[in-house]
Structure 1
Amino acid sequence: MVPSCASAPVILALETATTCGSLALVAEDRCLAEYSLNASSSHSRRLLSGIDWLLAQCELSWPQIGAIAVGLGPGSFTGLRIALSTAKGLCMATGKPLLGVGTLDGLAGQFPYSSLPICPVVDARKNEIYTALYRCNAQGLPEKTTGPMVIRPERLQEFITTPTLLVGDGLPLYGRMLKELLGESALLAPQEICFARAATIGSLAWGLFRQGSFLNPATAVPIYVRASDAELQFGEKKAQR
């Protein structure tokens, strides 16, 4: 049985920006439990049932949840909207504050105290990737130095000139090509840790929680980086008028 954390608040974290989504309950010093799911076929009902399961496993109830954190993207437009709408609905229903963490930040956050630059590579479809560059500060937390941006993967040559840790769900698609282009500068993370994790989103959200850096559930939006197909089509039709 996972020990509960009744004496201190717990953050409920949701991350569904990529195909392998997850939910987690995170205390200030550790992850209490994490639940993985296929985010490509997820909807709010599955997220809610997963949350119920996590709470039951940890013997926690809603009064012990201090805040709800969500991965804001970039990533799958559908996945981002589902997670954020679920998180916003829960915040409005329970009165819990909302915290938002970028998905690229979450991927980089899986490598605290890294001596190497970190480059998340998230599949953006259309032969493009969402990416950014990070370096860890004195506290071991990755800080963004470039990005976020959506580019063709081969353009990483313009930004990576020294050994850099690459991580993300774009590696199964573009890892071999990037290795050929970047040579020894491309250090590919193992596939099993190439997905953003709710546990990391929750851990990073603790810094925001302490600062009181909450989002307004009524106005919070995902980090898209690029317009959706529907928005692009609308823009094209508007330009043709």
Structure 2
Amino acid sequence: MNVLAIDSSNLVMGVAVATEQKVLGELTTNSRKNHSERLMPAIAQLLEAVALKPADIDRIAVAEGPGSYTGLRIGATIAKMMAWTLKKELVGVSSLEVVAQNGRYFDGYIAPFFDARRGQVFAGLYENNNGNVVQSVPDRLLQIEDWIVELSKLGKPVLFLSNDLEKWEDLLQTQSYAVLGESTQNVPRAAELARIGARKEPVLDIHHFLPAYLRLAEAEAKWLAKQER
């Protein structure tokens, strides 16, 4: 099975093509550039590089969030469009679960997170189970101070993984249980997204697939606040 993986959920943009046994190709960037302009050309470039046509893809795996509202919409829209027009399977995978794979062999908890501004983070908690990363609690949005207190009660080392680690590094280093990921561990890999996506059940209704925003877009939140006054 050929799996095309698409991740534009945060600053990192990644695409990969893989089978269940082999990574055929992967492209990753980590810079502030417009995903809406770069994602489709990156997919086309990668497919050409691995000598595959869009019709050769069997399944599309997309990072479904949490993350950037705009980035999630871009990735989900392209993945849905391709799955529908090519009549291929579509699978959504937690963006935090993808990052957590970089701590697969850590002896303790794995805590991937994305900065969500205003002192908040999109956070997940995972564990290594014989080399498999399993979710301990659902992904959520919360204040990082509350998260730190919660994790301090677990009684195990916690590996923090995030492309936004630098922003919270000083605070996390004060925690005795905290282990900070290396630079290569903090970047989500589209090849891991493809691997996970190959194992999950595809969505039943492509048209109604939605990203996991975990919160309203800022404009929507302001509109609702006005209605409640």
Would the TM-score normalized by the shorter structure come out above 0.5? Answer: yes
Deviation string 1:171-204 (CA, Å, 9 cap, x unpaired) is: 1110221111x12x11100123312221111111
Deviation string 1:46-105 (CA, Å, 9 cap, x unpaired) is: 211111111111111223211111000101111000000010111111111111000011
Matches within 5 A, 1:163-182: 163-180=157-174, 182=175
Kept after mapping to 1: 8 A contact 2:102/2:186: no
Match of 1:23 among 1, 12, 15: 15
Please list every run of 5 or more consecutive structure 2 residues that lacks an aligned counterpart in the other structure: none
- Corresponding residue number in structure 1 for 2:141: 150
Residue 202 (1) aligns with residue 194 (2): yes
Residue 52 (1) aligns with residue 44 (2): yes
CA distance in 2, matches of 1:39, 1:84: 20
Give the 3-state SS of the residue equivalent to 2:213 in structure 1. Answer: coil
Give the 3-state SS of the residue equivalent to 1:169 in structure 2. Answer: coil
The offset of 1:39, in angstroms, is 6.7
Kept after mapping to 1: 8 A contact 2:8/2:35: no
Identity %: 28
Which AA in structure 1 matches 2:148?
A: Q
CA distance in 2, matches of 1:134, 1:77: 23
The offset of 1:220, in angstroms, is 0.6
Which AA in structure 1 matches 2:56?
A: Q
- Corresponding residue number in structure 2 for 1:224: 213
Kept after mapping to 1: 8 A contact 2:108/2:157: yes
TM-score, scaled relative to structure 1: 0.88
Residue 36 (1) aligns with residue 28 (2): yes
Kept after mapping to 2: 8 A contact 1:129/1:170: no
Residue 73 (1) aligns with residue 50 (2): no
TM-score, scaled relative to structure 2: 0.92
Which AA in structure 2 matches 1:129?
A: V
The offset of 1:40, in angstroms, is 4.3
Give the 3-state SS of the residue equivalent to 2:199 in structure 1. Answer: helix
Matches within 5 A, 1:227-238: 227-238=216-227
Give the 3-state SS of the residue equivalent to 1:41 in structure 2. Answer: coil
Kept after mapping to 2: 8 A contact 1:154/1:178: no
Kept after mapping to 2: 8 A contact 1:134/1:146: yes
Kept after mapping to 2: 8 A contact 1:11/1:68: yes
The offset of 1:38, in angstroms, is 4.9
Match of 2:87 among 79, 95, 113: 95
Kept after mapping to 1: 8 A contact 2:127/2:133: yes
Which AA in structure 1 matches 2:169?
A: G
Taking structure 1 as reference, are residues 192 and 14 closer, same or farther at Cα in structure 2, changes over 3 Å only? same
CA distance in 2, matches of 1:101, 1:118: 17
- Corresponding residue number in structure 2 for 1:64: 56
Please list every run of 5 or more consecutive structure 1 residues that lacks an aligned counterpart in the other structure: 1-8
CA distance in 2, matches of 1:146, 1:170: 21
CA distance in 2, matches of 1:13, 1:112: 19
Aligned residue pair count: 226
Stretch of structure 1 that moved more, 109-118 or 74-83: 109-118
